[in-house]
Amino acid sequence: MVNKITVVGAGHVSATTAQREAKNERERTVVMVDVVEGIPQGKGLDQWQSAPIEGFDSRIIGTNGYDETANSDLVIITAGIARKPGMSRDDLLNTNAGIVKQVAEQIKATSPKAIVIVVSNPLDVMCYVAKEVTGFPRERVIGMAGVLDTARYRSFLALELDVSVEDIQAMVLGGHGDTMVPLVSYTTVSGIPVSQLLAADKLAAIVDRTRNGGAEIVAFLKTGSAYYAPSSAAVQMVEAIALDKRRILPCSAWLQGEFGLKDVFCGVPCRLGRKGLEGIIDIKLTDAERADLVKSAEAVQATQAVVDAG
Ligand SMILES: NC(=O)c1ccc[n+]([C@@H]2O[C@H](COP(=O)([O-])OP(=O)(O)OC[C@H]3O[C@@H](n4cnc5c(N)ncnc54)[C@H](O)[C@@H]3O)[C@@H](O)[C@H]2O)c1
C-alpha cells in the first residue's frame, strides 16, 4: 500500500481509473486533478459517496490545483484529448504534447519522487515528453499500452476458442499504434501453443483485430475512445508497483540497447515493482517479430523526433 496516487484528468479514463483504484484500496488517498472547474470536485465527491456501499476507505479528492497532489507516490497522466472516428493516435500529437508538458512540469515541482504512468496518446511519444520535462530516470516514467493491447488480444482469443480469459497468456509489444506486435510465438492457452489450437488464418484475423482494437471502439462510440479496459490496465500496473509484485507486464519503456533499440519509448516486457521499472526482459523473437518490432519502434522514433518536448 502507498500513501497517495494522483490521476491527472477527470475525464473518461481518469475518473474510471480513480474509481477502480480507490475500490482496490492500494493507497490512502486518490487525487483527481483537471483544468475544468468543478468536474474533478464533483466526480470525486460522487465517487467518495459510493465508498460506504462499495466498502473502501481510500479517500478520493477532486481538485484544479496541484497542492493536494504533493508528494504523490504514483501519478497517472490521462490528461489530453481522445480520438474521434477517422483520427489516428498521432493526430493528437501537438495538443496532447502541450498538455503533457504542462502536467509534467507540475509533477516535477510537486511530486519529485513519483513514479509516473503515462496513458495520454500518442502514448510512446507522450512518455518521451513526460521523461524529458520531468527529468525523471527511466525507472520512473512508464507507459500504459501493452497491458491494454494484450487484454484485447486475450479477450478475442478467449471468445474464438471458447475458453477462460484467465487461461490465455500472451504479450503485445511495440508502439501503441497500428504497428503494434502481438507475439504469436509467445501466445499459449494453459501452456499449449495457440498455433496448435487455431488455424493460421483465424489467428491472423485476431492479430489484425487487436491492432485495430482501439479504432473499433472509437467507431462505435463516435465521440471518444475506450476507457473501461484502459483504466483496468492502468490499475493493474499501479497494483504491480504499489504492492511491489515484480509482475512482468508489457509496458512502454525508454530503451537503452534492449532489443537492439536505443533512445526510444517502445512496448517491451517489463518487471514492475515498488521502484517502478525494475527490469526489461530481452526475450528471443522470431525474425518476423523482430523486424515488426524494429518497424514499430522506428514509427515512434519518427514522431518523437518532431515533437516539441522542450
Ligand atoms: N494508452 C492507452 O492505451 C490509452 C487508452 C485510452 C485512452 N488513451 C488516451 O487517454 C487520454 C484521455 O482519454 P479520455 O477518454 O479520458 O479523454 P477525456 O476527454 O474524457 O478526458 C481528458 C481529460 O483531460 C483533461 N485535461 C485537459 N488538459 C488538462 C490539463 N492540462 N491538466 C489536467 N487535465 C487536463 C480534460 O479536461 C478532460 O477532463 C487521451 O489522450 C486518449 O487518447 C490512451
Tens of pLDDT, residues 143-197:
999 999 999 999 999 999 999 999 999 999 999 998 999 999 999 999 999 999 9
CA of residue 11 to ligand 1 center, whole Å = 6
pLDDT at residue 309, as a whole number: 85
Q: Is 307 in the pocket of ligand 1 (CB under 6 A)?
A: no
Please, which pLDDT band fits residue 12 given cuts at 50, 70 and 90? very high
What phi, psi does 214 have (nearest 5°)?
A: -70, -45
pLDDT at residue 89, as a whole number: 87
* CA-wise closest residue to 51 among 28, 20, 26, 23: 23
- The stretches of 49-190 forming alpha helices (DSSP H) are 51-54, 93-110, 123-134, 146-161
User: What global pTM score does this model have?
Assistant: 0.98
Return d(Cα 69, Cα 72) in angstroms, integer: 6
Q: Is 61 in the pocket of ligand 1 (CB under 6 A)?
A: no
Q: Which residues contact 89 (CB under 8 A, 6 or more apart)?
A: 83, 121, 122, 123, 176, 177, 214
Annotated catalytic residue within 140, 176, 211, 247: 176
* CA-wise closest residue to 146 among 273, 224, 285, 253: 253
CA of residue 144 to ligand 1 center, whole Å = 13
Task: Provide the 3-class DSSP secondary structure of residue 217.
Answer: helix
Return d(Cα 127, Cα 241) in angstroms, integer: 18
Write out pLDDT tens, residues 43-76.
Answer: 999 999 999 999 999 999 999 999 999 999 999 9
Q: What is the mean pLDDT of residues 71-95?
A: 92
Q: Is 173 in the pocket of ligand 1 (CB under 6 A)?
A: no
CA of residue 37 to ligand 1 center, whole Å = 16
Q: Residue 126 CA: which ligand 1 atom is closest?
A: 41
Return d(Cα 47, Cα 35) in angstroms, integer: 19
Ligand 1 pocket test: pick from 20, 35, 235 the residue with the most ligand atoms within 8 Å of its Cβ.
35
Q: Is 7 in the pocket of ligand 1 (CB under 6 A)?
A: no
Percent of the chain with pLDDT over 70: 100
User: Has 12 been annotated as catalytic?
Assistant: no
